[in-house]
Structure 1
Amino acid sequence: GGVDQTFFALRKNEDLLVVQIYVDDIIFGSTSKKLVNHFVKLMSSEFEMSLVGELSYFLGLQLKQGNKGIFLHQGKYANNIVK
């Protein structure tokens, strides 16, 4: 076998849509609400999907989104190691 591509990016004018697939989980985001809505509509027409809202935890990474950007950390993981 080979390696399956799991990260996809689409740039449309000044906007960007990024998609990451891991097993049966998909995370995605965009600078454009229109691109997000189009992606959700397209994927929902092909697959059964449940949207859970803003991403806060994925593959051991905790994520916090704010006005100045996105902060990634592994606080839960670090706390479990030192216990």
Structure 2
Amino acid sequence: MKKYEYTQSNSDHTLFIKKMGDQITCLIIYVDDMILTGDDTEEMAELRKNLFSEFEMKDLGPLKYFLRIEVLRSRKGIFINQKKYVLELLAEAGMVDCKPADTPMVQNHGLQMKEEAKQTDRGRYQRLVGKLIYLSHTRPDIAYAVGILSQFMHAAQEKHWETVL
């Protein structure tokens, strides 16, 4: 990307940016997927041509899904969600018929490690909390609860599992 005069972002090393005047082009790369966006259509076409000449690639058209995030466009703007991801997560946890909660966790929750408490399946706990961490990208309202629950990844107890559910 440096060859094409793009600057790598300091905050996200998978993001490359090129500014020309008041126009910008951005490329974000994750393993073998990439998103090319910006308001400089000529630069985007040039970069696409250069990348296609150097790498075996295919253009999948307008962005619909990226990293399990659905991208929807309308006249009102661009909207993202993870509905399909949430349904898969609920199915895995056996909670497809669950009811939503307004506040997933109060601030003074009192959740802690207890000496004689029964341990839960650590792998299952870690998988579910990991998926919730990923879900918090589009659901910042659960970020506090997920942050608290992630503190118990090394030795989750039954109370922690109940709270995750």
Q: Which has the higher strand share?
A: 1
Task: Give the length in aligned residue pairs.
Answer: 80
Partner of 1:76: 84
SS of 2:46's partner is helix
1:37 to 38, 42, 45: 45
Provide the TM-score with structure 1 as the length reference.
Answer: 0.82
RMSD across aligned positions (CA) = 1.7
- Which whole-Å CA distance do the structure 2 matches of 1:71 and 1:79 have between them? 18
Partner of 1:11: 19
Deviation per CA, 1:33-79, whole angstroms, max 9, x where unpaired?
21210111111121111111001001110001233322111111111
Q: Which has the higher contact order (CA 8 A, sep 6+)?
A: 1
Structure-2 change in CA distance of 1:69 and 1:28 (3 Å)? same
Deviation of the 1:32 alpha carbon:
2.3
- Which whole-Å CA distance do the structure 1 matches of 2:75 and 2:48 have between them? 24
Q: Describe how 1:22-33 pairs up with structure 2 within 5 A.
A: 22-33=30-41
Listed as ranges, the gaps of 5+ residues in structure 2 are 1-11, 92-165
Seq. identity, %: 34
Structure with greater Cα Rg: 2
